[in-house]
Chain A
Amino acid sequence: MQIIEGLYYSKDHEWVKVEGDKAYVGISDFAQDALGDIVFVELPEIGTNLIQGEALGSIESVKAASDVYCPVSGKVIKVNEILVDDPALLNEDPYENWMICVELTEKDQLDQLMNSAEYEDFCNEEA
């Protein structure tokens, strides 16, 4: 299982990559592996104000549907539309294929997330 250094991770297996005041959000390798073949992705509208913990959209595999929760509050400024046409990209490379980009409104929320080492321990406990 792949975990990338320098990202923030949530207990729901989303990752956050911070670039200045912006943050990219996606799902982790652990999440894509648990879901299996991803066949459907639903993303929010640009301009949506998401609150930390709110569903940003959903991912469906053959087996099940899962909500994806936004680990940080922010206004959606970009969505990765390619995923809607090719959801399997999330299985192929979940870190390259971000889902949304938000303008961070509460940067200190990042302190509540895990770093890569903490997240690795967390996944080992879950497995």
Chain B
Amino acid sequence: MSTLKRTVLFNEHIKLKANMIDFGGWEMPVNYPEGILEEHLYTRKKAGIFDVSHMGRFVVTGKEAAKFLQHVLTSNVMALNVKQAQYTIIPNENGGAIDDAYVYRFGEDEYWLVVNASNAEKDWTHLTNEIKNFDAEIENISDDYAMLALQGPESKNILSKLSKDPYLNEPAKNSLDIIELDGKEVRISKTGYTGEPMGFELFLKAEDAPAIWNSLMENGAKPMGLGARDTLRLEAGFPLYGHEFGTDINGEEIKIFSVPLAKFAVSFAEDKGDFIGKKALLNQFEALQRIMKKDFSDITDLPKILRLFALTDKGIGRNGFKVFKDGVEVGYVTSGTMVPYYKTEVNGLNDVQKEEKDIRAIGIALVDSHVVVNDQIEVEIRGKRAKGIIVPYHMKADIPPFTRPIIYG
């Protein structure tokens, strides 16, 4: 275990009696004593904090910082105002993803890029190579800063106990600022990976992280391990590199437009101009337009799509399990498990989150592009086939502050 990397919050996780695992070379908490289910529910009802310091943090500065990012990212960085963040993808020439990432614009020519821990080295090599042609610099600040996520309905109230900054009342998603929190300078953004309507990500100087972590807990947040992080993002329908991005089970690259979220992360705007993988991405996009009109005559540029599914039979559709439609194999599960939820009482526009809990088997599958929402499917679980359905979403976040689970069958 001694060769594993540790975040600056390692000792806090040990004090909290976390169950530690090797996650992409990092010794990280998978869950705390209450367990994944209770952790997940606490984020949905109150607020959870996540140590995401293992992720890679790069700062891009210089006169051509934006121009460089336009070249190496799929999103339109020109559309990003100062104090805004956006979801993006680092593409390769073939229209596959080197990684998915978030870009935060903290200053006129200062962009922070957060990438997956397991890809950080590969991303760094790629970006430092590409930046040579631009009047811009990239710096790896992963060790200088820690990163926390505070997510859930209570997250703003918790932060308000530690800061009087008016930023906290800023309602817009993806807005960011530099504020003082508990006497420390913190970079903060209204972003996250849980689907919560209220949630923040915090960049802290590494030495400040343990104190802030503990302050947030003293004020009502509970720690979340990687287990709950995974079930929360799965319920929100968010992709995870290595499952929904990267190479598929057959060793073939998953196309960026196979991921539904790509619609919001890829821009062909005029002011973006040319960028890595643009041609391949345009072909995928055109195929997607046809698929959305249920025209499956030419899907060679996008033969597979990621779809959410819910099982209506008993059982759990896990990673790698085969998916069938009308008895024919159409793909496989990329992520799947059981997630807990609070039942909601349907009450017109004011659905109420109840105390009563339940659990459901949901997942994401990479399937042939002709498989669409509402299609009946089957997932093969240890030789037996369990019925399920392709769904548009697993939950909704349209009535803040709570998310609502959408249950099928």
Contacts and interface: CB of A to CB of B under 8 A. Distances in A.
Contacts of B31: 36
Interface residues of B, number: 18
B314 A40 contact: yes
A28 to B, nearest CB: 17
Contacts of A37: 35-37
Contacts of B36: 36-37, 62-63
B15 interface: no
Given A37-B36, A39-B338, A65 B316 contact: yes
B315 A40 contact: yes
B338 A36 contact: no
Contacts of B369: none
Contacts of B231: 62
A36 B29 CA distance: 13
Interface in B341-361: 359, 361
Interface in A49-67: 58, 60, 62-63, 65
Among A37, A62, A65, find the residue whose CB has the most chain B CB atoms closer than 10 A: A62
A25 B359 CA distance: 26
Among A37, A39, A40, A65, find the residue whose CB has the most chain B CB atoms closer than 10 A: A37
B7 to A, nearest CB: 21
A7 B8 CA distance: 44
A62 B337 contact: yes
Give chain B's interface secondary structure class: mixed
B382 A62 contact: no
A65 B37 contact: no
Nearest to A88: B37
A36 B227 contact: yes
Contacts, number: 36
A39 B227 contact: no
B382 A63 contact: no
How many of chain A's residues touch chain B, expressed as a range?
10 to 19
B318 interface: yes
A40 B19 CA distance: 21
Interface in B64-118: none
Given A36-B31, A39-B338, A39-B359, A62 B315 contact: no
Contact of A60 (B19, B30, B35, B338): B338
A66 B378 CA distance: 21
Interface string B298-316: 0000000000000000111
Contacts of A62: 36-37, 227, 231, 337-339
B227 A63 contact: yes
B316 A40 contact: yes
Nearest to B338: A39
Interface in A24-38: 36-37
20 contacts: A36-B31, A36-B227, A37-B36, A37-B37, A39-B338, A39-B359, A40-B314, A40-B316, A40-B338, A40-B361, A62-B36, A62-B227, A62-B339, A63-B30, A63-B36, A63-B337, A65-B316, A65-B318, A84-B314, A91-B35
Interface of A: 36-37, 39-40, 58, 60, 62-63, 65, 84, 91
Given A37-B37, A39-B37, A65-B316, 9 more contacts: A36-B36, A37-B35, A62-B37, A62-B227, A62-B337, A62-B338, A62-B339, A63-B36, A63-B227
